[in-house]
Structure 1
Amino acid sequence: MTRRSPAAEDEPSRRRDRAETVRDEAVERACSQLRANGAISAEQRAAVEELADRLLERLSPVALALRR
């Protein structure tokens, strides 16, 4: 049985953390652009966040598969 190094075991966690950071930054940029055109409602912000979450969930497995 081959054991993975601690660094290799932490890699998926680091990738997920980085993906979440990118998502959060993208949400902030989108909301900032919406605010530049007027006020953004709580519902609009929630819609942007939900879209970002769904994209992250769908793209994360693809990114992992490409790295194998």
Structure 2
Amino acid sequence: MGCNFPNCPRTTIYEASERDFKVVMVEDAVSGVYGKGIDEIKNIGVKVCATNEFMQVLGNMPPKG
């Protein structure tokens, strides 16, 4: 996946989206993020959130089993 948004993460996000995966980008866990890029990926249906929001959602998920 990588860590520098304009390169690897952006490409991975697009590739996953093209394959109908639900994609979440944890904005503060990726470097090189810029406003236009965030708008761009939101326009293809990517959920963008912060680490604390993502962790809260994970903590509220029911256990599988």
Q: Kindly indicate which of the two structures has a greater share of residues assigned to strand.
A: 2
Whichever of the two has the greater Rg, that structure is: 1
Tell me the TM-score normalised to structure 2 length. Answer: 0.28
- Higher RCO (CA < 8 A, seq sep 6+): 1
Tell me the TM-score normalised to structure 1 length. Answer: 0.27
